[in-house]
Amino acid sequence: MIGGPGACRGIGAGDRVHVRGWIRTRRDSKAGLSFIQLHDGSCFDSVQAVVQSDLPNYADEVQRLTTGCSVEITGTVAESQGKGQSLEIHAESVQVVGWVDDPETYPVPAKRHTFEYLREVAHLRPRTNTFSAVARVRHSLSQAVHRWFHDNGYFWIHTPIITGSDCEGAGEMFRVSALDLANLPRTEDGEVDFSEDFFGRETNLTVSGQLNVEAYCLALSKVYTFGPTFRAENSNTSRHLAEFWMIEPEIAFADLSDDADLAEAFLKGIFETLLAERPDDMAFFRDRIDKGCIDRLEHFVSASFERMDYTDAIAALEAAVASGTKFDFPVSWGIDLQSEHERWLTEEHVGRPIVVMNYPKDIKAFYMRLNDDERTVAAMDVLAPGIGEIIGGAQREERLDVLDRRIAEMDLDVSDYWWYRDLRRYGTVPHAGFGLGFERTMAYATGMANVRDLIPFPRTPNTATF
């Protein structure tokens, strides 16, 4: 049975098995037997072992087993007399591998816990059925990401984790330094002298692999990155982490419409795989976390995305205001959409994911391609009910003169972007890509409400215990 998904397939009554795992519960019958519920994480279900009192260590050890103890059990598979499982193991030996040293204070006994509490015992929460299901879904979805890209001709590019600071556009960054903080080298005008630092310059943890992956896109045509990303923003919400995983594909000879097509095909592909590969875990999320999660995904893979121009989205919002919908923030062309606006569009207005395209240039990044109207850029956001923005993407500005103009307009230093500009000087082509937050995608798939419960060891402001 041990050995991964499907390992218990083909096992039937009469087979001898050897199982190893952790006790979830023990139930005694003084008729002279105990029932042990054992899980090893290989799938959602645990297995029941029936232990007779004539085992030599029954009184001394078996009856002292509590939730969390690790054991090895050898026995024979048999049809179960009880309800709740078709097969069970009749134990011939139960060997205790590790005791729980104080059952009274074992942090995760077999009972309901709040997710907030379990975050404080993040090293033990994978033993609960919720967090082992999250871990398996995370694995399957990760594998599905790589498989989908591979099957569609994309190459996985490992973009750097440590980046030169001045090539990034977005967000607060975590500094990477080997300098002695108690004895910082200074320049003549008193600034920290980073030329003395390990890399001879300021460096930070990456906030996006996009600029780097564009370079590989303009050589390999279809590429993506999938790795950790870091933002030192003091964001305290259920949708933000200081360390999260991001998927960033980039396609050459492509425009914004191709980009939206890619986002749609990709999301449908990985959700189809998830539904096919993790039915047991998804059934758990449906039954215990979010009734609609499976229906939502099934609908998602069969329906087309709603696509809407920013300008039309604003018109729809203005019409809603005119007919009585109340928003805290006023709506007019040129604003960045607020969370409440995005939520209304995806939850109320269309009731499913929506791609909003062609935003005003003044609220978007310098690298996004300027549209012919000179007022908007070829940017898109994919909004999903319940979590808001899960994808932000754009067609990139491939024209060097326009790119330079945009860099100047935004008061950026053109010399910082010398290699990025080279990509426009040497065989430039239209290209596009997007960033997809992996934990937000998981939140959408499982119905789990907080991204802190979708990554094994979440990093948030003031929290990096594990």
Partner RNA sequence: UCCCCUGUAGCUCAAUUGGUAGAGCGAGCGGCUGUUAACCGCUAGGUUGCUGGUUCGAGUCCAGCCGGGGGAGCCA
* Shortest distance (Å) from residue 32 CB to RNA: 8
What is the per-residue binding string for RNA in 325-364, x denoting contact by CB under 7 A?
----x------x-xxx-xx---------------------
Per CB under 7 A, the list member of 131, 224, 244, 420 interacting with RNA is: 244
Per CB under 7 A, the list member of 196, 389, 404, 416 interacting with RNA is: 389
Per CB under 7 A, the list member of 80, 93, 165, 311 interacting with RNA is: 80
The DSSP-derived string for 283-315 is: HHIIIII-TTHHHHHHHHHHSPPEEEEHHHHHH
Torsion of CA 174, 176, 182, 186, to 10 degrees: -100
Q: Directed axis angle between helix 438-446 and helix 129-151, to 10°? A: 120
| Angle, CA of 391, 397 and 401, to the nearest 5° | 160
Q: Directed axis angle between helix 129-151 and helix 256-277, to 10°? A: 130
Token digits of residue 223: 């590429």
Instruction: Indicate whether 90 belongs to the interface with RNA (CB under 7 A).
Output: yes
Per CB under 7 A, the list member of 117, 198, 253, 333 interacting with RNA is: 117
* Shortest distance (Å) from residue 193 CB to RNA: 27
Under 8 Å between Cβ of 135 and 126: yes
Nearest to 149 by CA among 280, 302, 266: 266
Nearer to RNA, 197 or 390 (CB): 390
| 3 state SS of 451 | helix
Under 8 Å between Cβ of 102 and 17: no
The number of residues that bind RNA (CB under 7 A) is 77
Nearer to RNA, 194 or 269 (CB): 269
* Shortest distance (Å) from residue 24 CB to RNA: 7
Nearer to RNA, 136 or 341 (CB): 341
Nearer to RNA, 298 or 336 (CB): 336
Token digits of residue 252: 């050459």
Instruction: Indicate whether 239 belongs to the interface with RNA (CB under 7 A).
Output: yes
Beta strands in 101-208 (DSSP E): 155-156, 162-164, 175-176, 203-205
Per CB under 7 A, the list member of 42, 132, 206, 208 interacting with RNA is: 208
Under 8 Å between Cβ of 154 and 287: no
Nearest to 265 by CA among 277, 254, 278: 254
| 3 state SS of 165 | helix
Torsion of CA 375, 331, 235, 167, to 10 degrees: 0
* Shortest distance (Å) from residue 130 CB to RNA: 9
| Beta-strand pair 155-156/70-79 | unpaired
The stretch near RNA (CB under 7 A) out of 154-162, 176-184, 215-223, 429-437 is 429-437
Instruction: Indicate whether 67 belongs to the interface with RNA (CB under 7 A).
Output: yes
Q: Which residues contact 218 (CB under 8 A, 6 or more apart)?
A: 252, 423, 427, 428, 429, 431
Instruction: Indicate whether 114 belongs to the interface with RNA (CB under 7 A).
Output: yes
- Of residues 3 through 62, those in contact with RNA by CB under 7 A are 25, 27-31, 33, 35, 37, 48, 50
* Shortest distance (Å) from residue 383 CB to RNA: 9
Instruction: Indicate whether 82 belongs to the interface with RNA (CB under 7 A).
Output: yes
Nearest to 246 by CA among 212, 296, 197, 289: 212
Instruction: Indicate whether 85 belongs to the interface with RNA (CB under 7 A).
Output: yes
The stretch near RNA (CB under 7 A) out of 138-146, 190-198, 274-282, 386-394 is 386-394
Instruction: Indicate whether 205 belongs to the interface with RNA (CB under 7 A).
Output: no
Instruction: Indicate whether 410 belongs to the interface with RNA (CB under 7 A).
Output: no
Per CB under 7 A, the list member of 241, 317, 377, 378 interacting with RNA is: 241
Nearer to RNA, 196 or 318 (CB): 318
- Of residues 430 through 459, those in contact with RNA by CB under 7 A are 435-437, 439-440, 449-452
Instruction: Indicate whether 152 belongs to the interface with RNA (CB under 7 A).
Output: no
